[in-house]
């Protein structure tokens, strides 16, 4: 039985490289997904994953399938959309989620148009859905550097991120302008990790490893450190199971990983003791018993 879980990674180098890249990405993106969830910005990650496409497309048009060029272009495009959305929401009566929706839809359409100018449908599918089994050493180093940098930033800013997530008014009263800096750095980290994920899972799938483990972890605990650990563990498990699923069932690896995370999310919603259906049924049973008494 043990060979069933190990043989694909023991026998094939491309499976080991894909697993290493997914593990690094899971450890990096899952904590960011938790903080997005706490800030009620779950769909912002999805919006930014679409927003990086024009920059990735411009990098592709200039340098072909150059990881560095597409990464720089994607980061610049995502950061620009994040800054513009924040600026428009501060200057108008529109909420930030509404401005994100407007900008990311335009960015997605622009990115697809740019790729179609010189690329083929295969190139477009590669950018949208990734090619995880074609990950090379350079891509692993790229993802590893971003994961390490993200860990360092989260360690330095952990206290401020927690305070902003739960009591942003405290920061505004005590340190004017400080919340905007923290918010900007946080969004930059989100964009940076989505850029790391596009090479592996594509611009449309990369947000899956960011948000699904975070939402699933929230159903199992109410303590933030525990939620962060559970989210990272779910990301690692989803990567392992998804790659095995794709190997034995001949499925696309990226969607298989996200589907694995979706199954864990569904089970967490059903069985999780914190906010899951099991908790709601237990509370309803207690209320019924109290009414009978």
CATH number at residue 268: 1.10.3470.10
Is residue 230 very low, low, confident or very high in pLDDT (cuts 50, 70, 90)?
A: very high
The reply to whether 248 falls in a domain is yes
**Minimal CA–CA distance to 19: which of 129, 127, 132?**
132
The answer to whether residue 152 sits within a structural domain is yes
> CA-to-CA distance for 218 and 200, rounded, in angstroms?
26
| Domains identified in the chain, total number | 1
pLDDT in tens, 47-81: 787 788 888 888 877 877 677 788 888 888 888 88
Evaluate whether residue 120 is within a structural domain. Answer: yes
Instruction: Work out the pLDDT band at 124, boundaries 50, 70, 90.
Output: low
Cα(272)–Cα(186) distance, integer angstroms: 28
**Cα(210)–Cα(206) distance, integer angstroms:** 7
Query: What is the band of 231 on the pLDDT scale with cuts at 50, 70, 90?
Result: very high
Burial level of 4, CB count in 10 A (0-12/13-18/19+)? exposed
Containing structural domain, residue 264:
16-292
Is pLDDT at 283 greater than 70 in this prediction?
A: no
Three-state secondary-structure class, residue 251: coil
- d(CA 25, CA 200) in angstroms, rounded, equals 9
Q: Quick check: is 7 in a domain?
A: no
Look at 13 and 211; give whichever has higher pLDDT.
211
Taking only the tens place, the pLDDT of each residue in 166-217 is: 765 555 555 555 667 888 888 889 988 988 887 777 766 788 888 999 999 9
On whether residue 85 sits in a domain, the answer given is yes
Domain membership flag for residue 212: yes
Q: Is 65 exposed, middle or buried (0-12, 13-18, 19+ CB in 10 A)?
A: middle
**Residue 4 in domain:** no
Residue with tokens 């990950």: 135
Select the more confidently predicted residue: 171 or 133. 133
Residue 5 located in a structural domain: no
DSSP string, 74-112: HHHHHHHHHHHHHHHHHHSS--HHHHHHHHHHHHHHHHH
């Amino acid at each position: 039985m043990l060979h069933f879980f190990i043989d694909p990674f023991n026998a094939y180098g491309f499976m080991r490289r894909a697993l290493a890249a997914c593990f690094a990405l899971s450890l990096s993106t899952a904590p960011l997904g938790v903080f997005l969830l706490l800030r009620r910005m779950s769909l912002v990650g999805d919006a930014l994953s679409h927003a990086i496409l024009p920059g990735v497309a411009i990098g592709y048009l200039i340098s072909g399938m150059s990881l560095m060029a597409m990464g720089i272009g994607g980061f610049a495009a995502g950061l620009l959309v994040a800054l513009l959305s924040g600026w428009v929401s501060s200057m108008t009566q529109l909420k930030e989620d509404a401005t994100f929706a407007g900008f990311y839809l335009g960015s997605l359409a622009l990115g697809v148009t740019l790729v179609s100018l010189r690329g083929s449908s295969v190139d477009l599918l590669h950018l949208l859905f990734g090619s995880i089994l074609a990950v090379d050493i350079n891509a692993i180093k790229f993802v590893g550097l971003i994961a390490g940098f993200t860990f360092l930033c989260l360690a330095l800013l952990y206290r401020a991120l927690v305070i902003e997530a739960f009591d942003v008014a405290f920061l505004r009263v005590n340190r004017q302008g400080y919340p905007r800096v923290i918010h900007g750095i946080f969004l930059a980290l989100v964009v940076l990790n989505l850029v790391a994920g596009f090479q592996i899972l594509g611009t449309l799938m990369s947000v899956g490893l960011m948000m699904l483990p975070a939402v699933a972890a929230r159903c199992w605990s109410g303590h933030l450190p525990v939620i962060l650990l559970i989210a990272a563990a779910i990301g690692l498990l989803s990567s392992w199971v998804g790659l095995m699923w794709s190997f034995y069932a001949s499925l696309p690896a990226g969607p298989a990983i996200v589907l694995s995370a979706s199954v864990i999310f569904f089970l967490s919603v059903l069985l999780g003791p914190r906010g899951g259906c099991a908790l709601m049924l237990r509370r309803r049973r207690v209320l019924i018993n109290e009414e009978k008494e």
